[in-house]
Amino acid sequence: MKKRIYGLENEFGIAFTCNGRRTLPSEKVVRYLFEKLITTEGFLNVFLENGARFYLDTGCHPEYATPECASPMDVMIYDKAGERILENLLNYAQNKVHEEGFQGELAIFKNNTDFVGNSYGCHENYLADRTADFYYMAEQLIPFLVTRQIFTGAGKVFRTRRGTVYHISQRAQHIRQKISGTTTNERSIINTRDEPHAIKEKYRRLHIIVGDSNMSEFATYMKVGTTAIILEMIEEDFLPTTFALRNPVRAIKDISRDLTCREPVPLNNGKRYSALEMQKEYLELARRFYSTRPMSPEAADILLKWEYVLTKLEEDPMQLNQEIDWIIKLHLLQAYGERSNLSPEASGDRMLMLDLQYHDIRREKGLYFLLERRGRIKRMATEAQIETAMVDPPQNTRAKMRGELIKLAKLKRIPYDLDWNYIRIGYLLNLWVKCNDPFQEENEKVTQLKRRIERSNFKYGYLL
C-alpha cells in the first residue's frame, strides 16, 4: 500500500440521567471530562500524551481525533484507545458530579444519532498528493463510499408511523449532498476542507464525513483499509468511471434500507447494480491492480478479508454476526425479539434502548462489550496494544515527537502550546518548532529542544 497518513475523528454522544430523565445539562457535565486533563477553565481543547487530540465539538459533543497513523491497523488501535481514554475520563467526571450532590448516571455513546434526530459524525482523514485533482478524486470515490456501508454501517433502529424499522447505516439518512464545504448544516459524503496540517504545496487532506462510528475493530479496519486501496487506485488513474451513480444521495439511503444488500440502484450509464455487486467489482479491480505491483502484507490481508466479507454477505449476511456492526446488532435485536412478549409499542421502545446501549463505551455496561466478553465478537487488537496506544504515540509518524514533548513538559511542570504541526514550550519563551512533515518521527530542532528542556531548570515557565 502507498505510504500515507491516516486519521479518524469520532464525536461522542453524552447524557446524564436519573431514573431515565436528564437531570444535568450536557454543557456542565462535559467540562468534568476535561478537568482531569487540564486546569485552565474553559479550555476544552487538548493534545494527549499518545499524540491524539481531545476537544469539545459543536453540539456539546466530546471528540477524539487519533494521532497521525501510518496504517489502517494503527488507526483502528488508536481509535479503540480513544474509547478507553474517554471511559477513564467518564469515571472521573461521574465521581465529580456526585461530589456536587447530583444523583444520576453519566453515559457516553460512540454512535451517530440521538433520539431527537440530531446527527454527529465519524470523519476519516487521508493525506493525498496536492497534484491530484480533488473533484475528480471525489467523484471517483463517491460510488465506493456509498456502497461500502454494507460492511461499515453501524446499524440503526428508526421509529416510523408504521412502527420500528432497521437500517444498515446511521449517517445515510442525514446525507444531503455529494460534496460540501460544511460538516453540519448540509452534510455531504465528502467535505472540501483543505487543512492538511502538512506542507500545503505538497499535500492535501481528503476529509470523508459519510461513515458511521464503528464499535467493531474489524469494521474500522476494513473501512479505512479498503478506502485506502481505492484511493491509491484513483491516484494512479487505474479506476474506471463506469460506476458513477445517477443519484448518490438517494442511493445511499436506498442501500441503507436494503438488508439483503441486493437491491439495484441506477448508474449514469443506464445500468443498475446492487451495492454487493459494485463492491465485488471494486474487489476484482483491486486484485488486478496489485497483480502488476508490489503488495504489502497489510494490503494482502485487506483483500483477503474483503473477499471473505462479500462472500458471506452474498451467502447470508447474518454469518457476519461477529464482525460487522449492523449485523452484530441486528442479530442481538432479533434474539431479544424472539424472547420478549412485549406489546409492539413497548417492544419498539426497548429496541431503541438496546440500539443505544450497544454503543455505550463503558465496558461493564455496553452491549458490544457484553458480546465481546462472551467471545461473540471477532477481535483484531490485543488488550496490550490498546493499553500501549492510550499512553504512547505511534513511533513512525510526527505524533511521536508531539507525544514525547508533552510527557517531558508535564514531567518538568512547564506550560506548552502545540497543534498538529507546531510545538511551543514555556511561557514567554522563544522555544518554538514547526513540524510540517507528518511522516517525520524525528526532527533535529525538536531533539535539540528536548535536550534543552531535560538539562535546564524551569520555574513558572521561565528558564533559570
Rounded to the nearest integer, the mean pLDDT of the chain is 90
Domain assignment of residue 374, yes or no: yes
Instruction: Tell whether the model's pLDDT for residue 135 goes beyond 70.
Output: yes
**What is the CB-side half-sphere exposure of residue 435 using CA atoms within 13 A?**
28
- Residues that are catalytic: 57
Domain assignment of residue 317, yes or no: yes
More confident residue, 261 or 457: 261
Instruction: Tell whether the model's pLDDT for residue 400 goes beyond 90.
Output: yes
Same domain, 287 and 146: yes
Q: What is the pLDDT at residue 265? A: 98
Q: What is the pLDDT at residue 40? A: 43
Same domain, 410 and 373: no
Residues 6+ apart with CB under 8 A from 24: 16, 97, 102, 104
The per-residue pLDDT for range 101-111, each reduced to its tens digit, is 888 889 999 99
Same domain, 171 and 285: yes
Domain boundary among 331, 353, 387: 387
Domain assignment of residue 392, yes or no: no
Q: How far is the CA of 134 from the CAs of 2, 148, 222, in angstroms?
A: 18, 20, 23
Same domain, 65 and 124: yes
How many domains does the chain contain in total? 2
Domain boundary among 366, 387, 408: 387
Same domain, 221 and 190: yes
Domain assignment of residue 14, yes or no: yes
Same domain, 40 and 75: yes
Same domain, 196 and 132: yes
- 390-394's contacts with Cβ under 8 Å and 24+ in sequence apart are 390/50, 390/81, 390/84, 390/85, 391/49, 391/50, 392/49, 392/50, 393/49, 393/50, 393/51, 393/67, 394/51, 394/67, 394/68, 394/69, 394/70, 394/74, 394/78
Nine cell digits for residue 383: 488488550
Range scoring the smallest mean pLDDT among 159-163, 263-267, 380-384, 439-443 = 159-163
The per-residue pLDDT for range 278-302, each reduced to its tens digit, is 999 999 999 999 999 999 999 999 9
Domain assignment of residue 90, yes or no: yes
Q: Is 326 exposed, middle or buried (0-12, 13-18, 19+ CB in 10 A)?
A: buried
Same domain, 441 and 328: no
Q: Residue 299 — φ and ψ, nearest 5°?
A: -60, -40
Q: Are 438 and 198 within 8 A, CB to CB? A: yes
Same domain, 30 and 136: yes
Other beta carbons less than 10 A from residue 315's beta carbon: 10
Instruction: Tell whether the model's pLDDT for residue 461 goes beyond 60.
Output: no
Q: What is the pLDDT at residue 42? A: 41
What radius of gyration, in Å, describes the C-alpha atoms of the chain?
23
Q: What is the pLDDT at residue 161? A: 84
Which 3-state string (H, E, C) describes 411-432? HHCCCEEEECCEEEECCCCCEE
Q: Residue 99 — φ and ψ, nearest 5°?
A: -65, -30
Q: Are strands 422-425 and 431-434 parallel, antiparallel or unpaired?
A: antiparallel
Residue 362 is part of which domain span?
A: 6-387
Domain assignment of residue 110, yes or no: yes
Domain assignment of residue 1, yes or no: no
The per-residue pLDDT for range 53-77, each reduced to its tens digit, is 999 887 688 999 999 999 999 999 9
pTM: 0.94
β-partners of residue 188 are 177
Domain boundary among 387, 418, 449: 387
Question: What CATH number should be reported for the domain holding residue 125?
Answer: 3.30.590.20
Domain assignment of residue 393, yes or no: no
Q: What is the pLDDT at residue 180? A: 85
Helices then strands, counting H and E runs in the chain, come out as 14, 20
Same domain, 451 and 313: no
Element (H, E) at 56: strand 53-57
Q: How far is the CA of 293 from the CAs of 114, 236, 268, in angstroms?
A: 45, 12, 31
How large a percentage of the chain has pLDDT more than 90? 69
Same domain, 308 and 183: yes
Same domain, 334 and 191: yes
